Amino acid sequence: MDSEKKLYTVIVHSEHRAGLLSMVTAVFTRRMLSIESINASASSIPGLHKYTMTTITDKETIEIVTAQIRKKIDVVNAQYFTDDEIYQLEIALYKVKTSVIESTPEISGLIRKSGARIVEVNPVYCIVEMHGRSEEISLLYNELRPYECVIQFVRSGRVALTKDNTERTSEFLENHEALRCRRKAESNKN
Amino acid sequence: MEKITGAEALMKALIAEGVDTIFGYPGGTIMPAFDALYDYTDRINHVLVRHEQGAVHAAQGYARTSGRTGVCLVTSGPGATNTITGIADAMMDSTPLVVIAGQVAIGMLGTDAFQEVDLVGITQPITKWSYQIRRAEDVAWAVSRAFYIARSGRPGPVVLDFAKNAQNELTEFAPEQIDFVRSYLAFPEPDPGKLKEAAEIINGAEKPLMLVGQGVELGGAREELISLVEKADIPMGSTLLGLSSVPSSHRLNMGMLGMHGNIAPNVKTNECDVLIAVGMRFDDRVTGALAKYAPQAKIVHLDIDFSEFNKNVKADLCVLGNCKETLRLIGEQVKPARHTEWVESFRPYAEKEMEEVIKEELNPGGEKLRMGEVVRAVSDAAGPEAVLVTDVGQNQMSAARYFRYEYPRSIVTSGGLGTMGFGLPAAIGASFGAPHRPVCVFMGDGGFQMNIQELGTIMEQKAPVKMILLNNNFLGMVRQWQELFCNKRYSFTPMVNPDYLEIAKAYGIPARRVATHSELAGAVAEMIACQGPFLLEACVEEEAHVMPMTPPGGAVDMIMTSKDDK
Ligand SMILES: Cc1ncc(C[n+]2csc(CCOP(=O)(O)OP(=O)(O)O)c2C)c(N)n1
């Protein structure tokens, strides 16, 4: 059903110019859609930045929101995906009390089982690092919580690649450039 | 190469864009630009307004009538914030504007410097593009890009926030000609498959209806539209902003859509089998309740802006492209057809409207003047060349309904934002944008006072604007709703009015008051015969209603023709 709410991942490619991120987030703000996570960094396409954002909404809304983002000048492309259409990854860091880890052997088991690793140890705390899908990161957090051992916890925004065989953004740029050349040739002829 | 200031570079860049008229108001941070302008007044006509909101609406009136990009020049801080309403209005109504505002020097940004305001931040959501010029050497690029973005594709407003240091710094100048922005497909190529499919849907239609929006005007596609609808015999309804896309007198033109539109096209929206919408965006004032909007029809939507597709109304087929191209290409593929019975079936609704609404509005039984008769009298006297400008409210709906349109770009009104105070300054701009056409602006006593200071601009410029004040001593449209939906609880809608003839007199503008049917024609003739500006105050019935009306949230075919119809 179109009105069913779920988590969507919106991937945006834009020129690397001051103010563009706020232009993009303003489209969410207008509908008071909260952004669950956001990651912004240089993309593989020269000069372009890539934002990966997640939000919980329905299909109808995300469709309009992405179109309104894509329409902005200096935004090259914006697309939305459900979780089954992307490979996604998040990084998380957990600061865990060393004393509890030492006194509770199950904790090391949980950490090992989840594929996380301990990257820093001192007498007060250990830093556990993990990367995985969002739900895996939440799972480890929820498993650790009952032991009241997590002092701090942070997770990055989600990054994602599409399962598509092509990069639509590069395609768009190539097609647009080709159209420009064709039109130029036509107007030269006339 | 000789070096010039960024401010002078702005003048040269504007001239390179073909700008000959700008509307503005000086102040601290834009002083270098005004200083440069002082040497360019032989090439650029600067119109000094009396409030920056007036500058933007004037630029809108100029753009809408001329088809060119309107330009404003204002100072930072309050000068810039005063332009916001007009910028938002231009965004909603797809009007090409370039608003150039001063800004504090970049070294002072973020310090709450005197008259610093984050203009880019404020205007990003209501512009096509908002950019800060921080270096004199960027002027040529930024100005050219601004004009390209404003006028191309679906037009809209652009803001240039011009830092004072960049106005003063020296630079070499060579004009730029930007006609490509890689992220922005201004004129998408129509998909041949979709064009063919659209033609097939039209060919299969027995009861087609065409909805015409301002896109047809903006795309200059009148000929293509008319040739398509005539070939396939498709009746049309138009949006408020699309009213002059086709002459009022065209056989297939069934009138205005929407809340106060004509009965026939609204009712037929829910009877047609194929609905072809071109260059319009299914605004809620057009559709009424979406759930009950044309559920029976196959919907084809032609637009240049992909983000309009499926936004409000889900279409069965969306055809992206400039309607000048898409209408022509679809027109080539449609088969000649006749839908005589269908076209005829609009007539009883037109007759019903004539009987129940129009007759009384044009020839009222009572003593008081009605808005409709005043509008029609002015329209007849001003002739087919006339440009209609309106304010917002009952005056707007009456003017839109009873004015007759012949030529393109004949209506200038605030549709999407519904900005009271739009009319007077927009009419000034229209008189510059269409200097050889009579410009008639209809206003209510509320809206006239929202930018009444622009009488000063009219006085100074001797702008030949025919101002018709439809005075009902009420904020009429709100009063109408209060009578219909709030048990006549007239909460803050009665207007205590000044003597408008005295005001006109103070500005040296000839004026006349008219209150009777018998004097109307003479008063209108006097106004039209007058060389320059003229104010005609028509004292109209105070508690009249604009009818027909689709109540807010009602279905498009649920139409009241009198206040007792509820
Ligand atoms: C700036 C602004 N403020 C408020 C409104 C709400 N509004 C819409 S119509 C209207 C009444 C307009 O009254 P008037 O100008 O006297 O015109 P009339 O309807 O009587 O013709 C009002 C207050 C608006 N559209 N714009």
B307 closest CB neighbour out of A71, A176, A180: A71
Of the partner residues A19, A67, A73, the one whose CB lies closest to the CB of residue B181: A73
B209 within domain boundaries? yes
Does any domain span residue B267? yes
In chain B, residues with a C-beta closer than 8 Å to the C-beta of A14 are: 183
Tell me: pLDDT of A1 over 60: no
> In this structure, are B236 and B329 located in the same domain?
yes
Q: How far apart are the first and last CA of chain A?
A: 51
Give chain B positions within 8 Å (CB) of A73.
Answer: 128-129, 149, 181, 183-184
Contacts A178 to B, Cβ<8 Å: none
On whether residue B552 sits in a domain, the answer given is: no
CATH number of domain containing B240: 3.40.50.1220
Contact status of A151 with chain B (Cβ, < 8 Å):
no
B395 lines ligand 1 (CB under 6 A): yes
* Residue B158 and residue B201 share a domain: no
Q: DSSP letter for B190, please.
A: P
Domain boundaries, chain A: 6-81+160-189, 87-157
Amino acid B566: pLDDT: 65
Asked whether residue B392 falls in the same domain as residue B522, the answer is yes
- Taking only the tens place, the pLDDT of each residue in B454-497 is 999 999 999 999 999 999 999 999 999 999 999 999 999 999 99
Nearest-CA neighbor of A108 among A94, A119, A95, A118? A118
Report residue B381 as tokens.
Answer: 């006297």
Chain B CB contacts of A19 under 8 Å are: 120-121, 124, 130
Instruction: Give the rounded percent of residues in chain B with a pLDDT score beyond 90.
Output: 99
CB B103 within 8 A of CB B161: yes
What are the tens digits of pLDDT across the range B29-86?
999 999 999 999 999 999 999 999 999 999 999 999 999 999 999 999 999 999 999 9
Residue B550 lies in a domain: no
Q: Which residue has tokens 């919907």?
A: B299
Task: Give the one of A23, A68, A173 whose C-beta lies nearest to B182's C-beta.
Answer: A173
Instruction: Give the whole-angstrom CA distance, residue B119 versus residue B102.
Output: 10
Other Cβ atoms closer than 10 A to B412: 30
Q: Does ligand 1 have an atom closer than 6 angstroms to the CB of B416?
A: no
Same domain, B248 and B220: yes
Question: Domain for residue B559, yes or no?
Answer: no
pLDDT at B1: 85
Q: What is the pLDDT of residues B241-284, one digit of tens each?
A: 999 999 999 999 999 999 999 999 999 999 999 999 999 999 99
Q: Note whether residue B187 is domain-resident.
A: no
Give the distance from residue A57's alpha carbon to the nearest chain B alpha carbon, in angstroms: 16
Is residue B55 within 8 Å of B87, Cβ to Cβ? no
**Same-domain pairing of B311 and B438:** no
CATH architecture for the domain at A87-157 = 2-Layer Sandwich (3.30)
| pLDDT tier, A190 (very low <50, low <70, confident <90, very high otherwise) | confident
Average pLDDT over residues B162-177: 97
List, in order, residues 6 or more apart from A167 with CB less than 8 Å away: A44, A45
The predicted-structure confidence for A128-166, as pLDDT tens digits, reads as follows 999 999 999 999 999 999 999 999 999 999 999 999 988
Number of folded domains that form chain B: 3
Nearest CA to A92 out of A143, A132, A120, A52 is that of A132
This model of the complex carries an ipTM of: 0.94
Q: Is residue B465 in a domain? A: yes
Contact B129 A73 (CB under 8 A): yes
Residues in chain A: 190
Q: Are residues B235 and B155 in the same domain?
A: no
Bridge partners, residue B98, by sequence: B71, B158
Band (B562; pLDDT cuts 50, 70, 90): very high
Q: Ligand 1 centroid to B394 CA: how many Å?
A: 8
Q: Which of A68, A56, A61, A57 is nearest to A25 (CA)?
A: A68
* Owning domain of residue B59: 3-172
Check if the beta carbon of residue B322 is closer than 8 Å to that of residue B296: no
What residues 526-545 of chain B have any CB closer than 8 A to a CB of chain A?
none
For residue A98, how far is the Cα from the chain centroid? 31
CA angle B556, B280, B309 (to 5 degrees): 95
Rounded to an integer, the average pLDDT of B157-183 is 97
B407 domain-assigned: yes
What fold is seen in the domain A6-81+160-189?
Alpha-Beta Plaits (3.30.70)
* Peptide bond connecting B548 to the previous residue in cis, omega within 30 degrees of 0: yes
State the nearest Cα–Cα gap between B206 and chain A, in angstroms: 31
Q: What is the pLDDT of residues A3-55, one digit of tens each?
A: 899 999 999 999 999 999 999 999 999 999 999 999 999 999 999 999 999 99
User: Which of B449, B475, B478, B497 for mutating ligand 1's site (highest number of atoms within 8 Å of CB)?
Assistant: B475
Question: Are the C-beta atoms of B183 and B121 separated by less than 8 Å?
Answer: no
Does B393 contact ligand 1 (Cβ within 6 A)?
Answer: yes
Q: What is the pLDDT of residues A87-104, one digit of tens each?
A: 999 999 999 999 999 999
Please name which of B87, B102, B107 lies closest in space to residue B35, comparing C-alpha atoms. B102
Residues B453 and B326 placed together within one structural domain of the fold? no
Rounded to the nearest whole angstrom, what is the distance from the C-alpha of residue B470 to the centroid of ligand 1?
12
Q: Number of Cβ pairs closer than 8 Å across A and B? A: 47
> Is pTM beyond 0.90 here?
yes
Whether B144 and B269 map to the same domain: the answer is no
Q: Does A180 touch chain B (CB under 8 A)?
A: yes
Domain's final residue, options B108, B143, B172: B172
Instruction: Describe the strand order of the beta sheet including B465-471 as a list of residue ranges.
Output: B411-412, B387-390, B439-444, B465-471, B534-539, B511-514
Which residue from B minimizes the CA distance to A62?
B311
Q: How far is CA B505 from CA B446, B536, B537, in A?
A: 20, 12, 13
Question: Can you give the CATH number for the domain in which B466 is found?
Answer: 3.40.50.970
| Mean model confidence pLDDT for chain B | 98
CB of B540 within 6 A of ligand 1: the answer is no
Same domain for B42 and B125? yes
